[in-house]
Amino acid sequence: MGSLSHFILVNERHIISTKLNWLRSRSLYIVVAILITLNIIMLTKHTETTNTLSSVQAQVVEEKQARQTVYKRLTELKTEKIATDTSLREERLKTAEKEKEIESLKENLQAKKEREAEQARLASAQRAPVQETVAQNKPAPAVQITGDKHSWLAASGIPEAHWGYVDAIVTRESSWNPNAVNASSGACGLGQQLPCGKWAGQWNNPIHALRAMNQYVLARYGSWQNAVGFWNKNHWY
């Protein structure tokens, strides 16, 4: 009995030991499996995080490159705009210079035409019949001249605002002498009308002469100011 009991006890111990070892092995496997699973999960998360970070970094790089491209293009556009504006200014200046040159040519051409017309009138006056020349050079009817240029201007009806221009021309043409006669051309009166006596009124009457002169200037030049400007350039009107 003693031996049997001992055998049974030993056998039970062996069975218990075997089960314990099996349980230990199983537990170890479970722990290892859990650890492997955790490592796989952590590795997956790390990979996803790494991929996300790489993607964000790539996106940042792309956005930076895009901003640099846009900035470069804006700089190019600004440079092109500056060059275009400069070119436009130069073209405007050239156009203005050409227009000014054309206007000057027109004025010179007009002045030339008027000089030629005046020369033609002078030549025509010089070719006039002797009796007409004699009639023109006859002493003018006596006129009682009173007052001065201011009273003559006032009586002529020329607006006072124009008197300065009238004075500029008459002073140069006749020095305000109503009886002035040009010995070479025969022009006469305050305004040196040519041929003498072509204007209405009595040529050596200062009031008549100023009225006739005013009609001539306004018809030919449009204003006394324009007439003075023409005289200053050409020394006749």
Residue 200 lies in a domain: yes
Residue 187 lies in a domain: yes
Q: How many domains does the chain have?
A: 1
Residue 140 lies in a domain: yes
Q: Which domain holds residue 206?
A: 128-234
Q: Are 190 and 180 in contact, with CB atoms under 8 Å apart?
A: yes
pLDDT of residue 2: 59
Residue 41 lies in a domain: no
Residue 173 lies in a domain: yes
pLDDT of residue 136: 46
Chunked mean pLDDT (size 10), the chain, 237 residues: 65 72 70 76 72 76 83 83 82 82 78 68 48 42 70 92 94 92 90 89 91 94 94 91
Residue 48 lies in a domain: no
Residue 38 lies in a domain: no
CA angle 176, 163, 150 (to 5 degrees): 55
The model's pTM is 0.43
Q: Which helix (H) or strand (E) holds 112?
A: helix 2-126
d(CA 220, CA 104): 20
